[in-house]
C-alpha cells in the first residue's frame, strides 16, 4: 500500500503543476486584449516579421541538442531497467519504472508549455511594438514604451534560455539499493519540482514585464500629464 500511495502522490503533484501552468496561461491571455487595436477598421503594420525566424533558428539548435540528449537519456534508462530487473520485489520495480517515466514526462510537458507561453509573449510584444512605431494615438509615451519593450524582450530571452536548459535535464532515477528505491525516486521528484519552480519564476517575471510594457505604452503619458497639473 505504501508504494501505491507513493506513486499516487507523484501523480497528484503532476496535476498541481499543470494547474499552475494553466493559470499562468490564463493570466497571459488576459493581457493580450490590451495589444489589440481598438480603432474600427484599423490595420496593424509590422515593421519587421514576427519572431518566427528567430524561433525557428532556436528550435533548430534545440533539436540538435535534443538528439544528443535522447541518446544519453536512453543509455541511463537502459541502465535503470537493468538494475530494476534484478530487484527481488518486481512490483516495487514496476512502480519505480512508472514513476521514472512520469518524472521525465512532467519535465517535457512543463517546459514545452512554458516555451509556448514565452513565444506568445514575444508575438504580443511584436504587435505592441508595431503600434508604437506606427504612431498609434493610444500610445501615450513611445520612448518609454520602447524602453519597456526592450526590457521585456531581455526578460523573455532569459526565461527562454532557462526553459531550453531545463528541457534537457534528465530525471532518471539513480538507484542506490532496492531497499532505498523509494528515497531515490523521491530525491529525483524533489529535484524536478525545485528546478521547475525556479524556471517558472523566470517565465512569470517575463509575463509581468510584458504587462508592464503594455501599461507603460498605454498609461504613462497620461499619468505624467496628470501629475504635472497637480
Residue 201 has pLDDT above 90, yes or no: yes
Give the confidence band of 75 by pLDDT, cuts at 50, 70, 90: confident
CA distance 165 to 156: 14
What pLDDT shows up at residue 166? 95
Distance in angstroms (rounded) separating the CA atoms of residues 3 and 171: 19
From residue 180, give the alpha-carbon distance in Å to each of 76, 84, 90, 93, 137: 18, 12, 14, 12, 65
- Please determine, for residue 221, whether its predicted confidence score (pLDDT) is greater than 80: no
Backbone angles phi, psi at 26, to 5 degrees: -60, -45
Note the helical H segments in 33-180. Answer: 52-85, 90-133, 142-167
More confident residue, 51 or 209: 209
pLDDT at position 198: 97
Quote the pLDDT of residue 123. Answer: 93
CB 55 within 8 A of CB 120: no
Q: Does some domain include residue 192?
A: yes
**pLDDT at position 158:** 95
In the predicted model, what is the mean pLDDT of residues 181-201?
A: 95
Q: Is residue 41 part of a domain?
A: no
Least confident span in 48-52, 122-126, 194-198: 48-52
Model pLDDT for residues 2-57, shown as the tens digit of each residue:
444 444 554 554 544 444 444 443 434 333 333 334 333 333 333 333 445 665 66
Say if 202 falls within a structural domain.
yes
Q: Is residue 3 part of a domain?
A: no
- Residue 145: is its pLDDT beyond 70? yes
Predicted pLDDT at 44? 35
- Tell me which range, 55-69, 70-84, 110-124, is most confidently predicted by mean pLDDT: 110-124
Cα–Cα dist 92/228, whole Å: 71
Banded pLDDT at 206 (limits 50, 70, 90): very high
Q: Which of 74, 73, 120, 80 is nearest to 98 (CA)?
A: 80
| Number of domains comprising the chain | 1
Rounded CA-CA distance 208/228 in Å is 27
Mean pLDDT of 154-175: 93
| Domain extent at residue 151 | 58-229
**Structural contact between residues 166 and 81, judged by C-beta atoms closer than 8 angstroms:** no
Per-residue pLDDT, 143: 87
Question: Is residue 164 in a domain?
Answer: yes
> Which has more pLDDT, 115 or 42?
115
C-alpha cell at 153: 524582450
Inside any domain, residue 188: yes
- The answer to the question of residue 94 being in a domain is yes
Q: What percent of the chain is modeled with pLDDT above 70?
A: 65
Distances from the Cα of 152 to the Cαs of 125, 132, 147, 166, 188, in angstroms? Answer: 8, 15, 9, 21, 33
Q: Is residue 77 part of a domain?
A: yes
Mean pLDDT of the region 86-114: 92
Q: Of 41-50, 64-73, 158-167, 169-178, which gets the smallest average pLDDT?
A: 41-50
Amino acid at each position: 500500500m505504501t508504494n501505491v500511495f507513493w506513486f499516487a502522490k507523484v501523480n497528484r503533484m503532476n496535476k498541481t503543476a499543470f494547474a499552475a501552468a494553466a493559470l499562468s496561461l490564463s493570466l497571459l491571455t488576459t493581457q493580450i486584449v490590451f495589444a489589440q487595436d481598438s480603432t474600427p477598421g484599423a490595420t496593424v503594420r509590422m515593421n519587421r516579421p514576427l519572431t518566427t525566424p528567430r524561433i525557428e533558428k532556436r528550435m533548430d539548435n534545440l533539436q540538435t541538442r535534443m538528439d544528443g540528449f535522447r541518446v544519453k537519456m536512453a543509455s541511463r534508462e537502459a541502465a535503470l531497467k537493468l538494475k530494476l530487473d534484478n530487484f527481488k520485489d518486481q512490483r516495487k520495480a514496476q512502480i519505480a519504472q512508472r514513476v521514472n517515466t512520469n518524472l521525465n514526462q512532467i519535465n517535457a510537458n512543463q517546459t514545452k508549455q512554458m516555451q509556448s507561453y514565452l513565444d506568445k509573449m514575444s508575438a504580443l510584444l511584436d504587435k505592441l511594438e508595431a503600434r508604437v512605431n506606427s504612431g498609434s494615438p493610444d500610445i501615450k509615451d513611445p520612448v518609454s514604451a520602447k524602453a519597456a519593450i526592450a526590457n521585456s524582450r531581455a526578460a523573455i530571452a532569459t526565461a527562454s534560455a532557462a526553459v531550453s536548459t531545463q528541457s534537457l535535464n534528465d530525471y532518471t532515477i539513480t538507484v542506490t539499493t532496492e531497499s532505498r528505491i523509494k528515497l531515490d525516486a523521491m530525491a529525483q521528484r524533489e529535484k524536478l519540482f525545485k528546478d521547475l519552480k525556479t524556471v517558472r519564476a523566470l517565465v512569470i517575471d517575463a509575463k509581468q514585464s510584458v504587462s508592464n510594457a503594455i501599461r507603460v505604452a498605454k498609461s504613462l503619458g497620461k499619468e505624467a500629464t496628470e501629475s504635472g497639473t497637480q
